[in-house]
Chains A and B, each alone.
Chain A
C-alpha cells in the first residue's frame, strides 16, 4: 500500500498536473475563506494561497522548479492580463478627460516618490542590491511590477511579497492616514490609495465611494506605466 502510494506520488510529483491543480485548489480555498471573512484585507487570498502551497511543497520536499513546471500555465496569463488592464483604464476616460493634467502630474510625481523613497529607505538600512531592485516597483500592480523587476535584474517573487505588503498596509491604514493629514476630497483620497497601494488599495477606495474608486482604478494602470519608464532610469542612475 505504502509502496503503491509512493509510486503514485513519484509520478504526480514529476508531472505538471500537480503544480497546476494545487494552484487552483489553493486559490479557490483562499477565495472562499476571504469571502467568509467579509473580505478582510488580513486574509488576502494571495497571501493565504502562497503560504499553503509553499508549506505543502516544503513539507513534501518538492522543489519550486518542479511546481513551476505545472504552474507556469497560470503564470503565462500575466502578460495578457496586463494588456487587458487597458479596458478598465479606458472606462475611466471621462474622468481622465476632465482632469488629466492634474491627474497625470500627481501620478508621475507619486510614482517617483514611491520608487525613490522605497529604494532610499532600503539602501540606508543596508538592503542588498537585489532587494533594492525588487523594492523599486512595490507600489505597482503585480503583473507590471513583476515585469519591471524582471527587466532590471530584481527577483519577481520578492517583488510580489513587497507588492502584497504595500497593498495590505495601504488598504488597512490608508484611510486613517488620509484622515489624519486632512485629505478629504474623494478624488484625492482615491488617487492616493491607487498610486501608493495599487489594486488592493483600490478595493478599499471603492468602499469609500464611486468617485474615490474611479480615481484609484485610474491610478493603477497609469502608475504602472509611469514606474515602468522611471525605474530603469533610476537603476542606471544608482549604479
Chain B
C-alpha cells in the first residue's frame, strides 16, 4: 500500500465533493472525483505502478464495502414486504428490456459501422 496514492484517491474525492457543491452539480462527489482521476490518467498517459497496487487492494474486496449500507435493509423490511410487487416487477422487466434494447442497438451499430468501412 502506497500512502501517496491513497492520498491521491482521497484528494480526487475531496475535489469532487467541493466542486459539486460549489457549482451545484447534481452528481455524487466521488463520481466527479472518478472523472477527475480518469482525466488525470489520460493526460499522464499510463497508470502509475503504485496507484495500480492501491486500486487492486481496494477493488479486490469491492463487495465488502457494500455490506454496511446493505445491512440497513433490516430497517426497511416492511417496505419490502408491502411493495415487493412493484420492486420485483420493475427489476425484472426493466433489466430484461435494457439487455435486449442495448444488445440489439450495439449489434446493429457495430455491424453498420463495419459495412461502412468494407
Contact = CB atoms under 8 A, between A and B. Distances in A.
7 closest cross-chain pairs (CB), A and B: A147-B28, A157-B72, A232-B26, A127-B86, A71-B68, A192-B103, A183-B103
A178 to B, nearest CB: 5
Contact of A82 (B30, B70, B101): B30
Nearest to A53: B71
24 contacts: A53-B67, A68-B71, A68-B72, A83-B12, A83-B34, A84-B37, A84-B58, A102-B109, A110-B98, A114-B94, A117-B98, A121-B89, A139-B94, A139-B95, A147-B28, A151-B28, A157-B69, A160-B73, A177-B96, A183-B104, A188-B104, A192-B102, A192-B103, A228-B27
Chain A interface main SS type: helix
For chain B, the bracket of interface size reads: 35 or more
B71 A67 contact: yes
Interface residues of A, number: 110
Given A81-B59, A102-B109, A196-B98, A117 B93 contact: yes
Interface string A49-64: 1100110011000001
A12 to B, nearest CB: 17
Interface in A117-133: 117-119, 121-123, 125-128, 130-131
Contacts of B64: 23-24, 27, 74
A225 interface: yes
